[in-house]
Chain A
């Protein structure tokens, strides 16, 4: 399993190709990419703050849980922080397993947990000013199914 927390942009296609190439014994690879969305058409940037040290630890714990629950050949989590423009990739998750069910479920589990258990905070910068993105109740209740 590989965890990367970085300010730099990445290309999910390239990352996915490399992940697939170095993961042995997989018959299924699932990936998810999160992208900065601009619903209002007025977003100038998204600023992501995180808690260096705890972020890496939390992501490793979440990934370790996924590895212990599903039969995985590999897992990759990349999450950016800093200033991002609309359309840029915020993060990606990839999982590899012998069969697709494990890969899909583990990827969803990783996403659900890193939404509300990894110490990242998003701030949207608009023409009118700044606002912190608030956590949704549905993000918290999404953990119940696991």
Chain B
């Protein structure tokens, strides 16, 4: 089981901030493929990966990063702090 979190417009597009998923995905990219196949709103949110960032267990990661041992994955747009 893995917690998947969404922030900012990704959260709005998918319609929820967090969900717990059973997944066999071995990388972030695999997980994205799985999510895209679920429903239109996911396909829409994940249509352009260059507009998205990902964090694994609260550390920024790449889309080809492994999910082995990961408890939490978060998807969000580029950050706008400051």
Q: A residues bordering B, Cβ < 8 Å?
A: 34, 49, 51, 53-54, 57-58, 79, 90-91, 111, 114-123, 132-135, 139-140
Question: Separation in Å of the B82 CB from the closest CB of chain A?
Answer: 4
How many A-B contacts are there with CB distance less than 8 Å?
70
| Contact A115 B80, CB 8 Å, known A51-B5, A51-B7, A121-B7 | yes
Q: B residues bordering A, Cβ < 8 Å?
A: 5, 7-9, 55, 58-60, 74, 76-82
Interface of A is mostly: mixed
**Pick from A57, A116, A134, A140: contact of B81, CB under 8 Å:** A116
Please measure, in the bound complex, the distance between the C-alpha atom of A22 and the C-alpha atom of B78, giving whole angstroms.
35
Question: Separation in Å of the B35 CB from the closest CB of chain A?
Answer: 19
**Pick from B9, B55, B74: contact of A132, CB under 8 Å:** B9
